[in-house]
A and B are shown apart, each in its own frame.
Chain A
């Protein structure tokens, strides 16, 4: 894989513009890998007039190929595992994953169940975890905004292939 040379002023300016666009208007996609819908409802509630995530420039849309952020919920069920990996691979670099809910962290109430992998981090690399069962919409917004603020500080590195 060729290394991107970030030394020239032209390259640096381009990186800054890309980061600015990525941070100020990320496009998100949502996937439910087996959750009880509690977290998904709270994610949908962030779009509604009371919490209004779109004022941060975050747009929830349909295809993985257009997305910067994957907001994922649920303890990964065995049926969902391969599909989740495929969705992650379909997203263009640089991409970020936010795991919402206790199920995504450790399996939540379903730890040890036979059809459940457990943590989303075992299937795809995760950048931010938002704990709660389910987390409030304010907590989800905080998690996503914290991720975006951390992006502002450094340019994104090329993503490593998933093992």
Chain B
């Protein structure tokens, strides 16, 4: 499928569910959606056979630190689908206070490894994911410590 055609078809498919659609690079379309629309959006792309899930990326966006208060902010999760040369990214935000997103493993079973990494490295819970075991962190890693959060600066016990 031609690049522009592919990007256009992704935009058309996701237009009804999107809060905002942007084109940051020639081959990318970014679709900002709310948490409730995540699964319908993924289902739309899968039903239309629009490419395959390339990656699930978590980006930590801490709010500026306030003395004495617990760290605040949110984690943005990007679901990138690749179709030939075109990349469509679904972007959702999960705040630290309620860091939960619905799982997409019932639609795309292969996403379980990506979700496991997201859960353990950034502390975002994927509700309903089949496997929560540590993917890359060691067995003795303390609970509640998320290495990829900006607030993590190293294990202090050794």
Contact = CB atoms under 8 A, between A and B. Distances in A.
Is A in direct contact with B (CB under 8 Å) within the complex? yes
Interface of A: 77-79, 112, 114-115
B147 A114 contact: yes
Nearest to A113: B154
A115 B154 contact: no
Contact of B155 (A77, A79, A114): A114
Interface stretch (B31-39, B60-68, B134-142): B134-142
B138 A114 contact: no
Q: B-side binding surface: helix, strand, loop or mixed?
A: loop
A77 B139 CA distance: 12
Contacts of B138: 77-79, 115
A125 B147 CA distance: 30
Contact of B154 (A77, A78, A79, A114): A114
Contacts of B137: 115
Nearest to B140: A78
Contacts, number: 14
Interface in B101-158: 137-141, 147, 152, 154-155
Contacts of A77: 138
B139 to A, nearest CB: 7
B93 to A, nearest CB: 26
Q: Max chain A CB contacts within 10 Å: which of B138, B152, B154, B155?
A: B138
Contact of B139 (A79, A112, A114, A115): A79
14 contacts: A77-B138, A78-B138, A78-B140, A78-B141, A79-B138, A79-B139, A112-B154, A114-B147, A114-B152, A114-B154, A114-B155, A115-B137, A115-B138, A115-B147
A112 B155 CA distance: 11
Interface in B36-73: none
B147 to A, nearest CB: 6
Contacts of B141: 78
Contacts of B139: 79
Nearest to A79: B138
A77 B155 CA distance: 13
Contacts of B147: 114-115
Contacts of B155: 114
A147 B46 CA distance: 59
Nearest to A114: B154
